[in-house]
Structure 1
Amino acid sequence: MTRSISKSLFAALAGFTILICLCYTGLAVVIAYVTEDMLVGRLLTREAAAIESHAAREGVLPRPASDLLTLHTSRATLPAAVRAATSPSDVRAEVFAGDAHYHLMVRELPHHGRVTILADVTPMLVVSNVVQDVGGVLIFVALALIGLALLLAWLLARRLVRPLQTLALEARRLHPGSTASFSARARPDEIGELAGRLETSFNALQAALRRERDFTRDVGHELRTPLTVMNNTLALAATRPVERGDIAQLQAGLDELRATIEVLFALARAEHVGQAPFDLRACIEQSLLRLPDDALDEEGLAVDLPERLPVDGNQHLANLLLTNRLGNALFHAGPGCRLAITWAGDRLTIANTVDTVNKGQVQGFAHGQNLLARVAGAMGWEIAFHPGEASYRVEIAPRLAS
């Protein structure tokens, strides 16, 4: 069963508050009683010294200076409650007799023997009198202060726990595929650090899940077509001799499979692939060199590029993007493909002709578009596809290097 941290914190603060109140109340009562006893003790000591001085000087016992004090030369004259509560050997004693409160002190005086000084200190009991006179007011004030302390404890607990409750509420509202954004991330304390770590971890997990989902979808989508072509070619080979065209088609399918798999794995690791400036023209030249020797003749390729094309991105992904695009151009355009690669207006354009006669025998122009778009998006580039009746054009807008 879930327990609210606010209630737990309030219970702890309230318990601590009540404990402090009880401790200080007990300490105040003890101090009051000790002070009261010390006052009576000093009064008796001072009176005993005065009696001893007067008896030594005058030879007779004086009359006590306070009406609260009486002198007794015999125990028989002491009140019955005092005689019952003390013994003849006691030098000092404190006796409670109903509503009366006595303090007793015994002194040995020359020529007078054992003299007992008895003080009825009932009128001097400040603590008892205060409790009797204003006890109700004190209890009311104490309860009011405890109530105020509990209110402050509740407000403090609510104030301290509110950021955690907000963080928990925002975490409960998250769902798969969403982006975490916790309001407590800007706090300069441990809660802000916790919110930042949770936000980073959740977004990283969502990105990993998206890459896994995209990888699974792309494997099922991008590899199905070349596998189908290869399967059909092998099925035809069982009924007739294998021709050079069939072998070429199988080789092309294998090349496309290999390029697609490389792109898929590169996208799956895209978060861990750094980006840096590089020369895009060099990547284009490398991709052209990877094409088969008989793929294009001198008239089938037109290149119009600056001497250098410095861009920002990942060179490995850029090579895969260009290789995949050029391979698709040759594979989908059919025999007699004409390929043009130009740079204008900060955009790279790769256009190829379309075999209008046999276009029904080649695969669709849209094959691989999603994959190329994801490769470009992983580097922050823009890509646009422009299919037509006689040509197919792809425009790529890379991030230019500063």
Structure 2
Amino acid sequence: MKEHKINKTYQEINEKIRSGEVVVVTAEEMIDIVKDEGPVEAARRVDVVTTGTFAPMCSSGAFINFGHSVPGIKASEVWLNNVPAYGGVAAVDCYLGATQPCEDDPLNKVYPGEFNYGGGHVIQDLLAGKKIHLKATAYGTTCYPNRMIEKKVTLETLPSATLCNPRNGYQNYNCAINLNKKTVYTYMGALKPRAGNANYCSAGQLSPLFNDPYYKTIGLGTRIFLGGGTGYVTWHGTQHKPSADRTEKGVPVTPAGTLFVMGDLKQMRPEWLVGVSIQGYGCSLAVGLGVPIPILNEEMAQYTAVSDEDIFTQIIDYGHDYGNGISKTYGQVSYAELKSGSIKLNGEDVPTVPLSSMVKAREIADILKKQISEGTFLLGEPQFTLPV
């Protein structure tokens, strides 16, 4: 007997959420459901699949309005806890980048090039309710004559603060090794010489864009879990580069799609936006991000059943090739292998090190599952989906 195709709409799924009849599972749970029941029956039974990831996402930051002074000021240079923010936005607006280091970081005074405090840490401190020292200078105009202000601010006293991350949630990323004779320090962490370790950064089968590899449900207006609050996909992220090199299941094997995301910083929490310092590289921000995937049909059910055994990435030498623009791979490896704790490279066992937290990724997927099941989180239908 031929199976009937499934076709659902966002409106139908949202009505199920409102009525408490929605069926929600995490991406890891969906793997066995599709394996046992097939994609058509899985699509008939399941309405939403939740995903999650938590890892350093350097292209992150916040637009902050710090309020007018008397007399007014048109700030041209701004510092928050002595971390420079970009002031060329408007009178009392600035953009604080997660990777911007503090100008008087004590670690940098002892070890030049090393930083333990930056924009990501300021964002986390704001979320933790701490007082932040703000300084702004200006050249002075008739309508904005003030040339300098200093004050203490908190997240509560700021008129507005918007998390605005131009590139998050990378769809796959490299497995990094170092074939040099000396340890190198990169945004992928410290890499020991002669392939002494292999670092990777993805939640694999829980990662959002692995569960919708062709972005059929993700685009402008997609509602997401962001930093412990609610956010939105507002565009394709910078460096969005859909890959033609994919597995049979559509999963790219190289860095591919990215998300531009935004949300109200005042809704977020410090445990989901964590300032980090990466040795020899600098400062960043670990971001908690989760995307609910509506199961509109059996095709989406099949995509969300992707497992770590199905997801592969390329091995890249960061000791020489990457920094010099050399496009060379040293093989492919699955996320099942990466998560096992070691991979084989030239017949040798190489220990693997994750920069992404699977514990946090699972927690995000579970939080989204609970919110949707309880009717407090509706799906956002995209006005258009990301370019493929």
- Interval of TM-score (by shorter of Structure 1 and Structure 2): under 0.3
| TM-score, L = length of structure 2 | 0.18
Larger Rg: 1
Flag the structure with higher helix content: 1
Flag the structure with higher strand content: 2
| TM-score, L = length of structure 1 | 0.18
